Amino acid sequence: MESYFDRYVVSGGIMMFFLIPCSFFAVWFIFQGMINLRRSRIAPKTLVSSADKMDTPAELKNFCSLAQRDRSSLANILKRLLEMNPSPGEEDFEEISAELIDEEASRLYHKNNQLAVIYTISPLLGLLGTILGMMKTFYIFSMSEEHSISQLSLGINEALVTTMWGLFIAIPAFVVLYIFKQKLFYYEMTLLPQAVKKVWKQILRFQYGLPDAREIDIDEKTQ
């Protein structure tokens, strides 16, 4: 009796040597994206709350040291702002911070876009495997002395295994990448601009004596 392994893996032919690694890469990239796009990797609450609690220049110095050691996206933007030290003018700050956030978002998009390659090539590999399988099936059928429809049907069924694998890999990869992009869009358009604005206004309190910015609320419910 034919096992499921023989029916859905071995019968796929040589292209399974490419499709099976694709499936493992897809799972790996999904887990990698889930880790990279956690809230703690983008705008950690500890960094924002540390800025919110600053009351003395000494605490500001400690916060700057903390930001220098942190590797989150928010910290990367703050490091650039500390180097550039823009004036407290609203228009000047908005333009510079928007540019830095856009650069950081582009880096995140590039770092977490590998699934696009997976969902693009896996159906093509599956289709190529089906074509090779169909060619083999018709060749065997033409060389056989007994031309049986059941024999031909069995060969076609086996040839379609690679198409099934290609779609099985591509569909989840496409859906997960879409979710990742939606999350990145929220980080780029909402979370990071709010966090950067709030933290930078707290820093400017000590540099220029501006009013306290603690009334600015940041959505901390998104994990």
Per-residue pLDDT of the chain (223 residues; tens, 9 = 90+): 668 788 788 888 888 999 999 999 999 999 999 999 999 899 998 888 888 877 777 777 888 888 888 889 999 998 888 888 766 555 677 888 889 999 999 999 999 999 999 999 999 999 999 998 888 888 888 887 777 777 777 778 878 899 999 999 999 999 999 999 999 999 999 999 999 988 888 877 766 554 544 444 444 443 4
Residue 54's φ and ψ, nearest 5 degrees, are: -70, 130
pLDDT at residue 210, rounded to an integer:
46
**68 vs 30: CA distance, rounded Å:** 29
Q: Which pTM does this prediction carry?
A: 0.81
pLDDT at residue 213, rounded to an integer:
45
**160 vs 9: CA distance, rounded Å:** 11
pLDDT at residue 157, rounded to an integer:
80
pLDDT at residue 140, rounded to an integer:
80
pLDDT at residue 188, rounded to an integer:
93
Do residues 192 and 200 make contact, with C-beta atoms less than 8 angstroms apart?
no
Which position has the token pair 């699934």?
115
Label each residue of the chain as H, E or C: CCCHHHHHCHHHHHHHHHHHHHHHHHHHHHHHHHHHCCHHHHCCHHHHHHHHCCCCHHHHHHHHHHHHHCCCHHHHHHHHHHHHCCCCCHHHHHHHHHHHHHHHHHHHHHHCCHHHHHHHHHHHHHHHHHHHHHHHHHHHHHHCCCCCHHHHHHHHHHHCHHHHHHHHHHHHHHHHHHHHHHHHHHHHHHHHHHHHHHHHHHHHHHHHCCCCCCCCCCCCCCC
Characterize 135-164 residue by residue with b for buried, 16 or more Cβ atoms within 10 angstroms of its Cβ, and e for exposed: eebeeebeeeeeeeeeeeeebeebbbbbbe
Query: What residue ranges do the domains of the chain occupy?
Result: 14-208
**158 vs 186: CA distance, rounded Å:** 44
pLDDT at residue 124, rounded to an integer:
95
